[in-house]
């Protein structure tokens, strides 16, 4: 698993925004400013759709006020699914998305889990990272089902403790 002080890897991904999907690299997306990256097992999956993503959308203004320049969600889904999820969730324009269709970024970050038993293949673990200018400042990985350590409220508390 990626550690504090490590640079984010450069992996080919698709960036999904309100403007559409573009080919780019993970370090290009995560390399400037203070970024919160949260990773989810899958778009439209119950916990991701009902608890994780909505918390970041609802707290976007607070995160920005606390110094976050960009909010990014990464998932191992194709960019069409990711765009549809962002639209349905009302998140596009507030959250940018990384479509990591082949789980290459999940693997490079050491945040990959095997969900083949559930018919989902390799996926991200549920986590969040604070990244400053392309270097990881903090890593929050869920150790149980649900959204606790990697949710927006936890990130706000970490920002208050570390950056105030």
CATH number at residue 144: 3.40.30.10
pTM score, whole prediction: 0.94
Domain count, the chain: 1
Residue 163 predicted with pLDDT over 70: no
Nearest to 44 by CA among 5, 18, 95, 83: 83
Of the chain, the percentage scoring pLDDT greater than 70 comes to 96
**Could you tell me if residue 105 is inside a domain?**
yes
In a domain, residue 29? The reply is: yes
User: 98 vs 147, which has greater pLDDT?
Assistant: 98
Q: What does the pLDDT read at residue 164? A: 55
- Would residue 2 count as lying in a domain? no
Residue from 8, 13, 48, 139 carrying the catalytic annotation: 48
The two structure tokens encoding residue 76: 């191992």
Q: Indicate whether 1 belongs to any domain.
A: no
Contacts of residue 101, defined as CB under 8 A and 6 or more positions apart, other chains included, come to: 14, 76, 77, 78, 79
Whether residue 5 is contained in a domain is answered as no
Domain that holds residue 141: 12-163
Go through the chain and tell me how many residues it has: 164
The pLDDT of residue 145 is above 80: yes
CA distance 159 to 164: 7
Q: Give a yes or no: residue 4 inside a domain.
A: no
First-to-final CA distance of the chain? 27
Catalytic-residue membership of 73: no
């Amino acid at each position: 698993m990626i550690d504090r002080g490590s640079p984010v890897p450069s992996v080919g991904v698709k960036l999904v925004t309100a403007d559409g999907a573009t080919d780019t690299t993970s370090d290009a997306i995560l390399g400037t400013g203070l970024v919160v990256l949260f990773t989810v097992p899958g778009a439209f999956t119950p916990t991701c759709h009902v608890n994780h993503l909505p918390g970041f959308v609802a707290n976007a203004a607070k995160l920005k006020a606390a110094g976050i320049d960009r909010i990014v969600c990464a998932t191992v889904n194709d960019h069409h699914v990711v765009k549809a999820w962002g639209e349905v969730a009302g998140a596009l324009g507030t959250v940018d998305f990384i479509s990591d269709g082949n789980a290459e970024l999940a693997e490079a970050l050491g945040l990959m889990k095997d969900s083949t038993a559930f018919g989902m293949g390799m996926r991200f673990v549920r986590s969040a990272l604070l990244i400053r200018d392309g270097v990881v400042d903090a890593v929050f990985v869920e150790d149980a089902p649900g959204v606790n350590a990697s949710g927006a409220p936890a990130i706000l508390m970490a920002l208050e403790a570390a950056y105030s």
